[in-house]
Each structure stands twice: as structure tokens, then as C-alpha cells.
Amino acid sequence: MADDLSLTEWTVLGVLAEAPRHGFAVARELADDAPLGQVWTVPRPLVYRAIGRLADEGLVEAVRAEEGDRGPTRTVHRVTRTGRRRYRCWLDAPVGHPRDVRTELLAKLVLRKRAGVPSGPLVRAQREHFAPVAAGLARAARRAEGPDRIVARWRLESIRAVERTLTAIAADDQRG
């Protein structure tokens, strides 16, 4: 089921949602030296595997074949209606855990920016989702002692950094 997609599969779907492409072009967008690849790098074989899984799930479909410059014929894929609907739901959903901020949330924010989709709604939803987490971490940091206090303080400061970053992203989004 598409709800069980990996971050790699969601990211590949996001690149294909921008425009129909062949796997090699998607892989270029997710290379470690590409802007999106700096967030989530995906090696070419995994891009092709992800496209296969997305096709199996009915989220993308082949639309044409293009002759490769120096290689085999390349199959161009596009996102289906179902794929686009599921992708938008994923793109709008806050991440469940603070550990997913560096990967999944950042990927969502970058994909939204690339597509010209405002970040504000996701930022607000994410801040609301993390508010009780931050409050719980603050309580834990006050009560903890010894080594537990070090971990509690680290986690609290991490969530505070996320809050500050989300505030800055929202401000940037409002400025345009």
C-alpha cells in the first residue's frame, strides 16, 4: 500500500510530480551534489527500484520511451491522479517524530519550495504537532539528573532549534 512508501519513494514521486522524467533525470535531481540530493541522496539503482515500486502501486505510469544519448532507451514516467493525490497528502502531513526533521520534513519543505507550494500550512501543522512534545521534553529536562539530564537537555535544545527554524521558514515564506 502507498502509505507504506519509504522516504526515497516519496521523494522520487515528488520529483516526478514536478514533470514527467526518466529515471536517469530523477537520479540527477537526487545526486549528492544536487540541491534536493543534499537533503536526501538516492543512488541511481534505488531511483529505478523506487520507480518500479511506484508503478506497481499505480502511483506513476510510463508515458513514452526516449532514445538515450549513449545508452539504452529510457522510459519516461509521470504521476497518476492517485499518485498526485497521495503525494499531496504526504506533502501536507507533519512528520511524526523530531528525529525525522532532518530528512523527511526538510525534504517536504524543499519539494514544496520547488513546486511553488507555500510552506506555511505544513509549518503550522508541524509546530502544533511538536508543541506537546516540546512541553514534555522541557518537563523531562527539569526533572532529569545525571546522564539522563544530558540526554534530556540535548533533546530539548534540538526541538527548540526545530521550532526556531520553522519560525524562520514561515517568515521567509511570508516575505515571498
Same structural domain, 18 and 81: yes
Q: Which of 56, 73, 92 is the last residue of a domain?
A: 92
Rounded Cα gap, residues 54 and 171, in angstroms: 35
- Name the one residue in this structure whose C-alpha cell is 514533470: 19
Q: Which of 44, 72, 92 is the last residue of a domain?
A: 92
Give tens-digit pLDDT for 11-45: 999 999 999 999 999 999 999 999 999 999 999 99
- Amino acid 95: pLDDT: 96
Rounded Cα gap, residues 150 and 112, in angstroms: 35
Same structural domain, 11 and 60: yes
Q: Which CATH number goes with the domain that contains 49?
A: 1.10.10.10
- Amino acid 58: pLDDT: 98
Q: Which residues of the chain are under the pLDDT cut of 50?
A: 1-2
- Amino acid 1: pLDDT: 46
Rounded Cα gap, residues 64 and 20, in angstroms: 10
Angle subtended at Cα 96 by Cα 89 and Cα 31, rounded to the nearest 5 degrees? 70
pTM for this one?
Answer: 0.91
**Would you give the distance in Å from CA 109 to the centre of its chain?**
7
Question: What is the extent of the structural domain holding 58?
Answer: 2-92
Does some domain include residue 29? yes
Same structural domain, 88 and 6: yes
Same structural domain, 144 and 76: no
- Amino acid 3: pLDDT: 63
Query: DSSP code of 73?
Result: -
Query: DSSP code of 95?
Result: P
| Cα-based distances in Å from 125 to 43, 62, 138 | 31, 34, 20
